[in-house]
Amino acid sequence: MSVNRNKESKQAIIQREYRERKLNKLIDEEMSKNKKLTREQAIKIVKDNIRKKNSENRQILRMKKRGSKIVKKEKEPEERKEEYITENLNPLSTAEIKKIKGDLQVIKKFKTDDDKKLFNRLSYAEQKLINRMSKFNKSSIRSLVQYLQKVKQVYKKDNQVFNGSNIGLLKDKRKVLNILSNYKNPKDHIYAIINVLKAFFNNDELIKYYETIMKKFMEKNVKDIRQNKKSEKQNQNWINYDKLVKIFKQNKNKLNDNDKLLMSFIIFFPRRLQDYYKMKLHKTGKKDMNFNYLNLNKFNMPSSFQFFRSKSQNYEDTTKRIPSSLKNIIMNYVREKEVKNNQLLFPKSNGKIHNADSFSKHITKLFKDITGKNINMNLYRHIVATNLSDKNYSMNQREKIASEMGHSILKSYEYSKK
C-alpha cells in the first residue's frame, strides 16, 4: 500500500492553524494600537518582534550552556511607535515641539552625562532619527551617533548635508559606491548606512544590497586577519609581551597611583574597555548592572571581578577570580586612598565617568608614557595573543586566558600575529 509522505498530520494541521490564529491576533493588536498602520506594516512589525524574541531565547540558551548567570532587565514602558507615524510639518521651534510632545524615549537609555551632552548637540531631526534607530538597535547612544556621523561624512564627500531625514543620496547606489571607493576600508560607513536606512520605510531591497556589499568587505577583512600579518602601523608600535612587562615595571613610577593601578589591570588582566571604565568598588549593598565591580569580601580583601554585559533583554553576569599578582596592589591602593563603597575606580580627573573614546585615548597615552610607543587596547590584545602562540600554550590554557580577556579562543588565534 502506498503512503503519501507529503500528507500533513492532524497534529501538524492543529499546530499550524494555532500559529496562524496567534499571528493574526498579534497583527490585529498592533493595528489597534496605531490606527495609521497598514496591514503590511503591522505584519512586518509582528514578524520582526517574533524573530527578535526567538533570537533572544537562543542567546539565553547559549549563555546558560556557558554557565553564565542570567539577570533579567527591568522592562521599560512601551515606547510610542513614532517611526510609523507621519506627522505634519509644524512651524514651531524645537523647544516648543519638545514642550508639546515631551522628551523622546531614547533619553531613558542615557548611561552618562556624556550621552546627554552628545545627544543635545544634535538637531531635532537628528535626535528623532537616533530615537527611531534605538528601537531596533541595542547599541549605545555613542555608537548610534557615530553611525549618523559616518553617513554625514558620505554626504559631505558629495557636497551635500545629511539632516537626519533626506536619504535620497543613499538610494543612488552607484554614486554611494563611488564615494565609498575613497575609503580604504568602507565597511564601517556601509554598516552606518544600513542602520540609518532601517529607520525609514520601504528600504528592504536597498538594505539587502548594502548588506551584500558589506559582506564582501568583511570577507576580505577576515581573509587578511587570518593571514595573521601585522599591519604597517602595528609593526611600528610593536613590543613583545615580556619586554613590555619589563618596561612597565621599570617605568610605572612615572604614573600617578590611579593610573598605575589601571595599567596593572590592563597589563596583567586585559579586558574590554568598558569592563574597566565602568568599574566600581563593592563592599555591601545593591549593585547597578550598568556597571562592573571589584568585589571585596567581609574582611575587605579583594575577592573577584564581576562583569555585567548587556545582552538584549538580559545581563550576562560573569565573575572572575582576581589574579594573585594584583591582590596586594589592589589592597594597598584601596586602603591608602580610602576608596568608598560604590565609588568609580577609574574616573576622569573631574570625577565623572569616562566614555569609551576618552578612556581609550587615556590608555594609549599611558602606554606612550611608559613605552614611548602608540599602543592602544586593541594592539595590546594582539601582543598578548601573539605571546601565547610564541610560547606554545596548550588549547586549554589559551581557552582559559581568552575567557578571562572576554573573547573566544577563535578570536585569540585571530589576534595572534606573525
Relative to beta strand 292-296, strand 279-282 is: parallel
pTM of the predicted model as reported, rounded to 2 decimal places: 0.53
Whole-angstrom distance, CA of residue 19 vs CA of residue 328? 59
Which pLDDT score, from 0 to 100, does residue 406 have?
63
What was the pLDDT predicted at 249? 92
Grid coordinates belonging to 77: 514602558
Pick the CATH number of 232-415 from 1.10.443, 1.20.58, 2.60.40, 1.20.1280: 1.10.443
Contact 217, 227 (CB under 8 A): no
Q: Where are the domains of the chain?
A: 21-67, 93-226, 232-415
For residue 103 the three cell numbers come to: 522628551
Mean pLDDT, consecutive 10-residue segments, the chain of 418 residues? 60 82 86 83 87 82 72 52 39 59 70 74 87 81 88 93 90 92 84 91 90 81 66 85 92 94 90 86 90 90 84 62 89 93 93 88 94 90 81 68 62 60
Would you state the pLDDT for residue 87? 39
Q: Which three cell numbers stand for residue 338?
A: 580610602
Tell me which long-range contacts 276-280 makes (C-beta under 8 A, separation of at least 24).
276/345, 276/346, 276/359, 277/346, 277/353, 277/354, 277/355, 277/356, 277/359, 278/353, 279/305, 279/344, 279/345, 279/346, 280/342, 280/343, 280/344, 280/345
Predicted pLDDT of residue 209:
93
Q: DSSP string of 97-135?
A: HHHHH---GGGGG--SHHHHHHHHTS-HHHHHHHHHHHH
DSSP 84: G
Rounded Cα distance, 366 and 375, in Å: 9
CA distances from 167 to 117, 201, 212, 370 (A): 26, 11, 19, 47
Give the pLDDT confidence score for residue 412 in this predicted structure. 57
Q: Which among 385, 320, 217, 356 has a CA at the least distance from the CA of 364?
A: 356
DSSP of 179-229: HHTTSSSTHHHHHHHHHHHTTSSS-HHHHHHHHHHHHHHHHHHHHHHHTTP
Cα–Cα distances in angstroms (integers) from residue 26 to residues 46, 52, 54, in the given order: 7, 15, 16
Helix pair 257-268, 377-390: axis angle to 10 deg: 40
Grid cell for residue 83: 517611526
| 3-state SS, one letter per residue, for 226-293 | HCCCCCHHHHHHCCCHHHHHHHHHHHHHHCCHHHHHHHHHHHHCCCCHHHHHCEEEECCCCCCCCCEE
